[in-house]
């Protein structure tokens, strides 16, 4: 794998992070609930952080990606319906929407890894999938804590 190819991989990943950042920023400006607004702003900020990290990798091919791969995938995003965006959406729906987006990213990078023939390229995509899986899991943990209220 040459540096050009590596750059391409990171460019794709960076583009996805920018897209996610812009999405969360846009929805944070639209929603009514101040907590949902805060959640989306925080997510936008996090995506910016991911983008910066990936940019550093893109610019310095000598950097080695060392991502702690999550040991388990509880597949909560997979078991949850994608909530419709609504300006009056609740915090749990906002988190559900975000974890579904992370699920898509995991699927995307795993798909890229699966079709990559070069072992190093495959490995980079697997790392990226692992990174997104970590994000998905963190959001899933938050969702489990707020998504099933005992209200009666």
Partner 1 sequence: MIFVIGSNTTEAHPIVSYYIKRAVKKGAILIVNDPRKIDLTQWATMHVQHKVGTDIAYINGLMNEIFKNGWEDKEYLRDHTENPDEIRKWVEDYPVEKASEICGVPVETMKKVAKILGEAKVASVCYTLGITEHICGTDNVKTLANLQMVLGNIGTYAGGLNPLRGQNNVQGACDMGALPNVYHNYQAVDNPAIKEKFEKAWGVTGLPTKPGYKMPTMMRKALDGGTKILYCIGDNTIQTEPNITHSIKEIEALEFFVCVDIFPTITTAYADVILPDCSWGEVDGTFTNTERRVQRIRKVIDPPGDARPHWWVLQELAKRINGYDLGFASSEGVWEDMRKTATSCAGITYERLEHVGLQWPCPTLEHPGTPLLHTSGNFTRGKGLFHHTDNISPAEMPDETYPFLLSTGRRLWHYHTATQTRNSIGLEKLFPEELMEISPLDAQKLGIKSGDLVKATSRRGEINLKAWVTDRSAPGVCWCSFHFVEACANWLTIDRFDPVSETAEYKVCAIKIEKIADGKEPVSLIRRQARP
Q: What angle do CA 89, 92, 93 make, to 5 degrees?
A: 45
Distance separating alpha carbons of residues 58 and 75, to the nearest angstrom: 30
Closest to partner 1 by CB, 39 or 112:
39
Distance CA 102, CA 118 (A): 25
Whether 98 and 43 have beta carbons less than 8 Å apart is answered as: yes
Give the residue, chosen from 12, 55, 73, 100, that forms a contact with partner 1 under the rule CB under 8 A.
73
Asked if 88 touches partner 1 (CB under 8 A), the answer is: no
| Between 38 and 122, CB nearer to partner 1 | 38
Question: In angstroms, what is the minimal distance from the CB of 32 to partner 1?
Answer: 12
Q: Which of 3, 34, 62, 71 binds partner 1 (CB under 8 A)?
A: 34
CB of 71 to partner 1, least distance (A): 11
């Amino acid at each position: 794998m040459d540096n050009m190819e590596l750059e391409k991989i990171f460019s794709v990943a960076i583009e996805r992070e920018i897209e996610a950042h812009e999405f969360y920023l846009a929805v944070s400006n639209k929603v009514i609930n101040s907590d949902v607004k805060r959640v989306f702003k925080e997510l936008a900020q996090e995506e910016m952080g991911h983008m910066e990290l990936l940019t550093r990798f893109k610019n310095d091919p000598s950097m080695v990606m060392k991502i702690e791969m999550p040991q388990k995938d509880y597949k909560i995003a997979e078991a949850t319906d994608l909530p419709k965006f609504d300006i009056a959406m609740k915090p749990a729906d906002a988190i559900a929407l975000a974890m579904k987006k992370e699920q898509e990213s995991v699927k995307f990078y795993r798909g890229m890894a699966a079709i990559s023939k070069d072992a190093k390229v495959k490995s980079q995509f697997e790392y990226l999938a692992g990174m997104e899986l970590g994000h998905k899991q963190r959001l899933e943990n938050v969702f489990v804590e707020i998504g099933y209220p005992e209200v009666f």
